[in-house]
């Protein structure tokens, strides 16, 4: 990644491309934010947090502080209490105060806490990392600010412009929609990966040596969606196994991915107990593993892996937006039989999800999945795939993936 182009240059190309084509990114996001209550809005860089807030809360009624701006970051680092002086002097028409990338200065949260108690201003706090807030025992405002998570676009937000092949190869970060060519998309994603590594990870000062972490990122991306073999990854990277576990914790805290824990059941002795890890976006995983230049061909293992990552990330997005009480895991027996997603839904049967990229599912394709779901007892079993119409085998509902995601993760 050392040869990745400068991110500002790539974004400039993206902007020129968008101007030339008349493209304007004004997507309606699925996330529902309250307008009269303070919030934390977490999400990876580039997921559209600032754009969403600027669309929802008009700038003429908001005061914005961007801690990615070196001058503003330094100003409030030297004197966090200055925020109180500024906010108390704001005119009545300013109803909201936005602080972008609040994890850059966790001490500001003590001031925000006081201002929520003593003024009528509503605070909108964004962050692309929860690590500093967690590690520093930062003031998380004790419920005075609700917590939300924003992700890259969902296929539902992209609507008729959604393209599965594009999503599998390049992911769904919002700025990609302004880029016309494969070359520009590759440049942007490589720049994103490199810049995020430098700015987000290095600035958090949790990795003493950046070179092993760079190597770890590539190995982790190659292990994307697989059961984690910490010992093997540690050997490949040249660090201790405990360091590898800490690295994955860093990725999760900086919102670069999700650790999917194994499902626990009464026949747990038959089950693998090691988690999986999924990067938050197909394009970023492919960039980190240096596979962006390779086209994805249907009916190949690489295509199947990309499709599985896409479906799991879509499910995680929709669960976060609509069903926060759902608990997500996976199940795999020691002889290799697997359920891609096991979802515990309060008041409803267990939901077991098999993911297949094929456009034609045969009964024998689901034999091990069917056996496992029967062992689990009371559960609902579905297969999300590229079939065009729904059908079923032995109690397993085989659904076009779009239909299945909407039915089980959006509709109540």
Q: What is the pLDDT along the chain (412 residues), one digit of tens a residue?
A: 333 334 333 333 433 333 333 444 468 999 999 989 999 999 998 999 999 998 888 778 999 999 989 999 999 999 999 999 999 999 999 999 999 999 888 889 999 999 999 999 999 999 988 776 766 545 566 678 899 999 999 999 999 999 999 999 999 999 999 999 999 999 999 999 887 766 666 665 566 677 888 889 999 999 999 999 999 999 999 999 999 998 898 889 888 999 999 998 765 555 678 999 999 999 999 999 999 999 999 999 999 999 999 999 999 999 999 999 999 999 988 888 899 999 999 999 999 999 999 999 999 999 999 999 998 888 999 999 999 999 999 999 999 999 999 999 997 6
Looking at residue 239, the DSSP 8-state letter turns out to be: S
According to DSSP, the residues that pair with 65 across neighbouring strands are 99
Could you count the other beta carbons within 10 Å of the beta carbon of residue 299? 9
Domain 32-149 has CATH 3.40.50.10490: no
Query: Which among 140, 100, 129 is positioned nearest to 206, based on CA atoms?
Result: 129
Query: Which among 225, 217, 226, 222 is positioned nearest to 244, based on CA atoms?
Result: 217
* Cα separation, 220 vs 245, whole angstroms: 11
Looking at residue 333, the DSSP 8-state letter turns out to be: B
β-bridge pairing 96-100 and 62-66: parallel
What is the full DSSP assignment across 3-27? TPPPHHHHHHHHHHHHHHHT----P
- The whole-number pLDDT of residue 206 equals 60
- The whole-number pLDDT of residue 11 equals 36
For tokens 């509902």, what's the residue?
A: 397
Q: Which residues contact 111 (CB under 8 A, 6 or more apart)?
A: 80, 81, 83, 84
CA atoms within 13 A of residue 137's CA, in its CB half-sphere: 0
For tokens 């991110």, what's the residue?
A: 7
For residue 201, what are the CA distances in angstroms to 6, 61, 129, 209, 239?
A: 17, 33, 9, 11, 17
* Cα separation, 234 vs 229, whole angstroms: 9
pTM of the model as a whole: 0.89
- The whole-number pLDDT of residue 131 equals 74
Torsion of CA 42, 46, 47, 53, to 10 degrees: 70
Which helix (H) or strand (E) element contains residue 84?
A: helix 82-88
* Cα separation, 168 vs 260, whole angstroms: 20
Chain center to CA of 144: 24
Asked whether the beta carbons of 85 and 114 are under 8 A apart, the reply is: no
* Cα separation, 110 vs 112, whole angstroms: 5
Query: Which among 280, 125, 278 is positioned nearest to 196, based on CA atoms?
Result: 280
The two tokens of residue 262 are 């194994």
Chain center to CA of 118: 35
Helices (H), 124-209: 131-135, 155-158, 164-170, 182-196, 202-204
């Amino acid at each position: 990644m050392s040869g990745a182009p400068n991110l500002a240059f790539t974004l400039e190309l993206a902007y020129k491309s968008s101007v030339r084509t008349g493209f304007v990114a004004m997507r309606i996001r699925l996330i529902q934010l309250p307008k009269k209550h303070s919030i934390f809005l977490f999400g990876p860089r580039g997921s559209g947090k600032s754009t969403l807030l600027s669309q929802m809360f008009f700038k003429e009624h908001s005061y914005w502080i961007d801690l990615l701006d070196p001058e503003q970051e330094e100003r409030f680092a030297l004197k966090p209490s200055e925020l109180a002086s500024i906010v108390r002097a704001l005119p009545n028409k300013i109803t909201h105060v936005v602080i972008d990338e609040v994890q850059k200065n966790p001490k500001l949260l003590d001031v925000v806490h006081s201002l929520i108690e003593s003024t009528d201003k509503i605070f909108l706090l964004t962050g692309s990392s929860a690590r500093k807030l967690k590690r520093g025992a930062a003031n998380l405002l004790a419920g005075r600010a609700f917590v939300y998570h924003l992700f890259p676009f969902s296929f539902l937000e992209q609507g008729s412009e959604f393209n599965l092949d594009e999503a599998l190869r390049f992911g769904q970060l919002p700025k990609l929609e302004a880029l016309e060519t494969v070359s520009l998309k590759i440049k942007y994603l490589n720049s994103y990966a490199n810049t995020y590594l430098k700015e987000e990870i290095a600035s958090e000062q949790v990795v003493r040596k950046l070179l092993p972490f760079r190597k770890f990122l590539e190995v982790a991306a190659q292990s994307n969606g697989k059961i984690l073999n910490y010992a093997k990854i540690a050997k490949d990277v040249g660090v201790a196994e405990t360091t590898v576990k800490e690295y994955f914790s860093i990725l999760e805290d900086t919102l670069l991915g999700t650790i999917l824990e194994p499902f626990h059941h009464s026949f747990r002795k038959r089950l693998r107990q090691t988690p999986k890890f999924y990067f938050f976006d197909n394009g970023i995983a492919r960039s980190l593993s240096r596979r962006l230049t390779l086209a994805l061909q249907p009916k190949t293992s690489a295509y199947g892996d990309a499709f599985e990552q896409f479906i799991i990330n879509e499910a995680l997005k929709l669960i976060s937006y609509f069903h926060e009480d759902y608990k997500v895991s996976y199940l795999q027996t020691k002889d290799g039989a697997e359920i891609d997603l096991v979802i515990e839904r309060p008041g409803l049967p267990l939901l077991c999800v098999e993911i297949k990229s094929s456009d034609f599912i045969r009964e024998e394709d689901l034999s091990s999945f069917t056996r496992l779901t029967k062992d689990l007892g009371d559960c609902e079993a579905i297969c999300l795939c590229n079939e065009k119409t729904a059908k079923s085998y032995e109690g397993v509902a085989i659904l076009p993936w779009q239909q299945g995601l909407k039915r089980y993760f959006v509709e109540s």
